[in-house]
A and B are shown apart, each in its own frame.
Chain A
Amino acid sequence: MNAKNLLEGVRVANVGVELFAESLAAQNAPVVQVDWRPPAGGDPEMIERLDRLTPCDAANDAAIERLQAARPVWVDIGTAIDEVPGMGERTLLHAGPPITWERMSGPLKGAMIGAALLEGWAQDAEAAERLCASGEIAFEPCHHHSAVGPMAGVVSPSMPVSIIENRAPAELGGGGRAYCTLNEGLGKVLRYGAYSEDVLARLRWMADELAPALSAALRAMPEGLDIKNVIARALQMGDEAHNRNVAATSTVARTIMPHLAEAVSDTGVISRVADFLAGNDHFFLNLAMPAAKASLDVMAGVEGCSLVYAMSRNGTDFGVRVAGLGDAWFTAPAKHPVGLFFPGHSQEDANPDIGDSAIMETLGVGGFAMAAAPAIVEFVGGSTAEAFQATNEMYGITWARSRDYTLPALDFTGVPTGVDVRKVIETGIYPVINTGIAHREPGVGQIGAGVLRAPEAPFQKAFEALVEKVGG
């Protein structure tokens, strides 16, 4: 009999009629109201399938341990052709699941054209477009090369890439690396499909001056720069690490600056690098994303695991990868984000959802950590209550609460982490994703930012595959 703890005092989960919870609260008894809905919409066949997937529980426990233990550190900056595994001479990486040139949306095409120009493969945009359409360029997802990229996510061979290493113990999957380009800033930028001369000039400066300077600074930091630590601290300072990165970027700048000054003698370079960091609130996003990827990839391949290790969009399709289902992508058409637009732009101009940056929500921050970021609650309706609700709802579809990424406004409870495909199907709650919004035409760039729900079909397809593999 272990009823003793019960008789000493009840702590209740009230599943159903709220009246009972109110009565308990009136007696000062601790009670949590559960907003119960029929599982899988009450479909008995789906419930039966859900119940066949109980073996996933143990696998998820094992996988989440690896995710929790991950310790992504920014160790250096290199060149894509040298560092990114499998990067070919004539390869362009892009965000999201695989896609052919014909099916690419405007901003993704624009980014590819820009990258071809940057690499000097073509003299003008028309020639670059012809080249891209010719089949001579290999278009491959960043995710197939241990990389991630925001928006178009384009990585070309000569681009500088940050190297993020997971410094967890080897038995918990440590040692893996992930790569990402350096963030160009806001406005007209390549990742939104802009490729005018000023965009390309900035990219050249980043490769020629910014990357070597930051690399020198990083080499002066024997432990590297701990990105997990920065994300954790930024959540205490009002960032959600996807649409708001000002605290994290400031923290990185503050941390790296003494080493930069030590490693670089040219004060002109130091000044320009410092100025660039000061003028780009989203610099950190391109560090947070590979940190998230390096953290999540350790779950990939855990047998029977139903947790998602990548959510990503290429501007046409939305794709999901599940730890227990290997490399497979489960896709469906990407949706349009609903958001706030820069002057002169509106919802009609918006491209479908694009970018690998949903890796942040996969980790449990971004839209999942809205409760951390009262400054940007306009994206979810304008009130902190709605921000809390967004985070609260995500606890319904995740396997754990993060040990290290915590929410001060919620009494330092951990962010919801480890999206469980089964829970998504059971609750009908789909991941909430914060995002920038690209113009549908190439060459225009970012026109706003907003929020959306992941589409349902990729999760439904992944669920069916999981039932076949694990519940058979």
Chain B
Amino acid sequence: MALAVRVLSGAYHDSVKLMRISAAASEKAHVRGAAALMGTPMNLEQLAASGLLAEEAKGAGPNDLVLAVDAATPETAQEELTVMEAALTAPRTGGGAGPLADLSAPTLDAALGEDPAINLALFSIPGPSVRREAERALSKGLHCLIFSDNVSIEDEVALKRMGRERGLLVMGPDCGTAHIGGVGLGFCNVVRPGGIGVAGAAGTGIQEAMAAVDASGGGISCALGTGGRDVTDAVGALAMVQAIETLNEDAATEVLLVLGKPPEPAAMRKVLDAAAQCGKPAVVHFVGGLSEDIRKLPGLHAADSLAEAGRLAVSLSGGRMDTAAFEIDSKARARIAEWSRTRPKSRRSLRGVYTGGTLCAEAQAIVGKTLDGIRSNAPLDKAGGEMGDHLKSQGHCVVDMGDDLFTRGKPHPMIDPTPRSTRIVQEARDPETAVVLFDVVLGLGAHEDPAGEAARAIEESSSPGVLFIASVTGTGGDPQGLKAQRAGLAEAGVLVADTHAGACLSAAEALRETLDR
């Protein structure tokens, strides 16, 4: 056995704390005995009695702290002394739940002082202020999740380059969803752990795909957001490529699920190359994008919808794929046919009213295969798809209520659905409207009863001639309860589909009738 001591002059520590440090060291298998105490004559006697009084400690005084370890080898004894010394100043954070937990830290630095193990900074501050704060966070070794929008593209590129150099992820700006280490960040569903890792440039797109994974029995290892602008050529998919690399190195991730709106050409190449090179099977789905380029690359799989992408990932990781979810079942068909018979002939238009931006895009993509001339305030087809007046729909329109046009100075409609409810009433009362298509997004961060809010709006509109179609993006584990939310909509007379893609197909089917005449 090897005895080692360290004498720290003039250090005062509470005796109970020292007992805790002694105990922690003594419990280790390779340690025969350990002590941390002030060098009073009585304490030195005690040390001698337990065979821990080395020569160097004999001169210690009452104001000196003595650390002593008797361990298997001199090296392990020294190591243990270092551990004990570190424990003297280590803050006792039991998960950040100290007495200051109820108080906000005045600065990021102060937060790091409170919990030096913080590894992620989540920003939801005004966009122009983000760069300075996020650079500081990165310089302290923190990954960043930037919920804020209105961050300039120069700032975004600078932050993502800095993050890349330091091996730190910069998710966002405008990243609303992530799921890391079993914890949902921002708007996120409660999912079971599993082997599917998501890299997404699309908030509600990630949620819809994660919900589909959950519905078909799969689980999520982690979901990293990048912010929608990441896949423009100006940013060059910096975060997306880094996210793909991170998932590739993550032992828990078996299958990658890469999501977004269609990247610009150079960014697209980078994303596909990164996904193809990673060696793990990858499902790649860009809402409204083409699948051929993806299928050409080895190891990459393409899907026709967000939900299908999620389910395909589950089947690639060994689960079974339920293809029925992407078809319209007989009950829905009957319901559409019945509505069609009684529909006033003046009602010919589709009106989509969305809280989720990516879901709004997917609606345009899927229904757009059947129906020409869909307009939106967030058009998938930037040439010619723009609504003249975002406050008043004409013809087929799909409105993203989460757009800046609607949210300036207000909470997002996923948090407060009131503006969306008002819009549902407005659209349903328009005598042109045939179908109102909408989304209900559940999960952490979302409103406590979004389906109930929508149902009340439908009742208020009292428009028996309109067919309401919706899907609920969520899981059984979500605080709102998936079943209850679906049931609430069904009771209000809504045709509820299993997936958002299913809802869009039903809407297309219903409107096909109007085309036939």
Q: Point out residues on A near B: beta carbons under 8 Å.
A: 1-17, 19-20, 23-24, 26-36, 38-39, 42, 47, 51, 71, 167, 223, 226, 228-229, 232-233, 236, 388-389, 392-393, 395-397, 400-401, 403-404, 406, 408-414, 423, 426-427, 429
Contacts and interface: CB of A to CB of B under 8 A. Distances in A.
23 contacts: A3-B249, A10-B120, A10-B185, A11-B119, A12-B185, A13-B118, A13-B120, A15-B121, A15-B125, A20-B122, A27-B444, A32-B96, A34-B106, A34-B108, A34-B111, A39-B132, A47-B132, A71-B10, A393-B106, A396-B110, A404-B12, A408-B14, A411-B98
A1 B96 contact: no
- How many interface residues does chain B have, given as a range? 35 or more
Given A395-B110, A412-B92, A35 B9 contact: no
A32 B118 contact: yes
Contacts of B108: 13, 15, 34, 36
A28 B246 CA distance: 25
A118 B384 CA distance: 94
Nearest to B169: A3
Contacts of B370: none
A229 B63 contact: yes
B105 A34 contact: yes
B9 A30 contact: no
Given A28-B95, A34-B104, A411-B98, A11 B117 contact: yes
B10 A167 contact: yes
Contacts of B252: 7
Residue with the highest number of chain B CB atoms closer than 10 Å, among A4, A36, A410: A36
A6 B120 contact: yes
B124 interface: yes
B124 A32 contact: no
Given A232-B13, A395-B105, 5 more contacts: A6-B120, A9-B181, A32-B96, A71-B10, A412-B17
- Which 3 pairs of residues, A with B, have the shortest CB-CB distance? A396-B106, A16-B124, A35-B104
Interface in B123-182: 123-126, 129, 132-133, 137, 142-143, 147-148, 166-169, 180-182
B364 to A, nearest CB: 30
B124 A223 contact: no
B80 to A, nearest CB: 20
B245 A32 contact: no
Contacts of B107: 34, 395-396, 423, 426-427
Interface of B: 9-14, 17, 61, 63, 88-89, 91-93, 95-101, 103-115, 117-126, 129, 132-133, 137, 142-143, 147-148, 166-169, 180-186, 221-222, 242, 245-246, 249-250, 252, 415, 444-445
A411 B91 contact: yes
A395 B91 CA distance: 14
B246 A7 contact: yes
Nearest to A402: B89
Given A396-B110, A427-B107, A38 B129 contact: yes
B10 A229 contact: yes
A5 B249 CA distance: 12
A3 B143 contact: yes
B363 to A, nearest CB: 27
Contact of B124 (A4, A17, A395): A17
B111 A20 contact: no
Contacts of A6: 119-120, 143, 169, 180-181
A65 to B, nearest CB: 13
Contacts of A392: 100, 103, 105-106, 110
A451 B18 CA distance: 35
Contact of A20 (B93, B113, B124, B242): B124
A458 to B, nearest CB: 20
A395 B106 contact: yes
B402 to A, nearest CB: 16
Nearest to B140: A13
Contacts of B180: 6-7, 10
B99 A12 contact: no
Contacts of B120: 6, 10-13
B105 A16 contact: no
B122 A13 contact: yes
Contacts of A51: 132
Contact of B99 (A5, A11, A411): A411
Nearest to B115: A32
B222 A15 contact: no
Given A2-B168, A20-B186, A36 B181 contact: no
A67 to B, nearest CB: 14
B111 A32 contact: yes
A39 B131 CA distance: 12
Contacts of B114: 32, 395, 413
A412 B100 CA distance: 12
B181 A229 contact: no
